[in-house]
Chains A and B, each alone.
Chain A
């Protein structure tokens, strides 16, 4: 069975803590996601997302604090303004925009974190490997 490789960019203050609380509660989730901790989801530039795909990732996840709860007050506003455009760009260049997922997970939402990862992994698993579609 195709095991997708997914890169997850998690913000240090909410989503990474959310992943921690999921781990602390011994919740199960698929091991396909490789987590990269970033100071803020606003740090994720479009270049980072595009290069992650170029390096062969099948899916990219950007998780941040809920709008209004950002540690840097408006850092995730940048994410919310930028990522929809990146999704559109992927669509216009011929990459399935569903391969990029943006969601908001707080430090207390361990269960939401596992659900988000489960759903996304299933969605990516149903798609062909990214590198093959680009041949």
Chain B
């Protein structure tokens, strides 16, 4: 861990002459870390560089670029954050040309904590740390193996705890619409808990995460009720790979499948009748 931190420190120092700022995590009081824009004018601030707990850096980049679209920035990102940036670029949320990626490879413990299938970067030019392979996701596999009735019981119990704080939506780097369906009373009722069964809130959110969720697990992390909602997104992501050959955040030149017409052979894989 400390080894990675010092390597990252050195890498940022090397990158400083080429950029106007480096976006990375800075440690704060009480063991928290938050995204911070390190400036080449103040290299001494790098003493407070942090790696963990992870926070969504793509969101901060979006806010900075709204005000300074032309700024040349370097971004320290993990595999999931890089995938998030790729998806946000496709939806015109971030500029890709002005940023330089410094990849931060996750350790085995971090990958297991996030149940991550791809804890490494693939677009970054410079990387810090040793690349490790994806780890299995026992919870998703367990739910995938359940029968429909078991799943119904499982989610009913989980969603009963939901207090509808909208924390999962707010933290999600991929949730950037100005007008949110989840705030529309037509679709999601307000004013009483527990929420209706089936839960409109979580189902609509899962639907909107199709071909968008990059599996950063920020929603599960932030949830005060510990609902493992990322499982649903992951299961759907597996289907999107199988049906439309689209892996979220993998390639810059591939458009999201929902925006395109059917390709040759796609219809057969959807399982719809002829």
Contact = CB atoms under 8 A, between A and B. Distances in A.
Interface in A75-121: 77-78, 80-89, 91-96, 102-104
A54 interface: yes
B207 A86 contact: yes
Given A50-B203, A104-B273, A88 B236 contact: yes
B155 to A, nearest CB: 5
Contact of B243 (A84, A103, A135): A84
B12 to A, nearest CB: 41
Given A46-B204, A84-B270, A84-B271, A94 B258 contact: no
B262 interface: yes
Interface of B is mostly: helix
A74 B260 CA distance: 9
B52 interface: no
A51 B273 CA distance: 24
A130 to B, nearest CB: 9
A24 interface: no
A47 B187 contact: yes
Interface of B: 143, 148-156, 181, 186-187, 196-200, 202-204, 206-207, 210, 232, 235-236, 239-240, 243-244, 257-258, 260-262, 266-267, 270-274
Interface of A: 46-47, 50-51, 53-54, 67, 74, 77-78, 80-89, 91-96, 102-104, 133-135
**Pairs A-B, 4 closest by C-beta atoms:** A94-B152, A94-B151, A84-B270, A46-B207
